Structure 1
């Protein structure tokens, strides 16, 4: 949960499939933990970690890792907090950044920098955790960035007066009209290729189907699709 000046929080539910203790976090209420007191505008999962964006300051990764549960008689792992990693450590510079799963993005002038994130390599020195990919030119820049997000089919960037989809096949699609709200559904079963856009007077639903033909390991824009994941803890 991104809560602006209050920071970022996690609500721990009882149905976790792993140990619910996120060691090192402050419990501020029943099952509510403070991840960071830094300004937080948007938050999304990067596997066990969280990438948090800010309109006021800079983005950062709340890095978590999987540790063996030494207090259990059965083989299990706990998701434990490691540390806060600022965007300057990820990109070696600062800007508006966001991330989801294995990719983290930063928008600067007319290009978007892309970093591949490896959850299993998060440590104190982060050696190998962040790999810089080829930047993507974005000539559709049309003002201040309002919001951004990632789906399987590409990257969505909202500006003051428009919405842009940077597709995983590197096509750029512009919707030249200010939007009230938009949403993608990368964690759904049936709507992972949908973009829902609410305008002042209507709702429009767009379906993107090009990503089926993209080699997932090579794409720069969008979440990598995997049919089967044998070890969820080491993604």
Structure 2
């Protein structure tokens, strides 16, 4: 299966690396199957003339209707990655080196418990922070120190849609989730929210979803 990397994550992994990839499964047109019969040999010959190091068969694209012929379009699965992490890169970071290790959840939720309660703790903040690489810890520290972090996160929701900041804020809060609480009577209060987007036709509701 092909994995599609874009922007700053392109050079984070090389062939042969064992990686953990986060993203979504998509379908793309199978361009290599669209050419007319008999055209494969000419393309293979042209590929040999260009020499190694160029794009391999099936990724040059199709230009013009003559190259398509009367064929139905086929699709194949691909994986659109939004994060690539080396599975072997795990470093132990002492809390004295990065104050963020102890203050990560305290800064965000007001407690050192990532769940926002005083019990049912699976991992302490330092143990959880040790799962990140040095580069990831530094990226998190820069994000926390950025005064425009909230505005940037809101703008990253459906960037192709202009305006509708209130809708984007609601979707962002839903994606991030809330703090689960427990009353003095022992009743668990749900921290996550639901979002209902209502609007006229052609107002980018599907783009938000």
**The TM-score by the shorter chain falls in which range?**
under 0.3
Look at both structures and tell me which one has the larger radius of gyration over its CA atoms.
2
Specify which structure has the higher proportion of helix. Answer: 2
TM-score between both structures, scaled by the size of structure 2:
0.23
Q: Which has the higher strand share?
A: 1
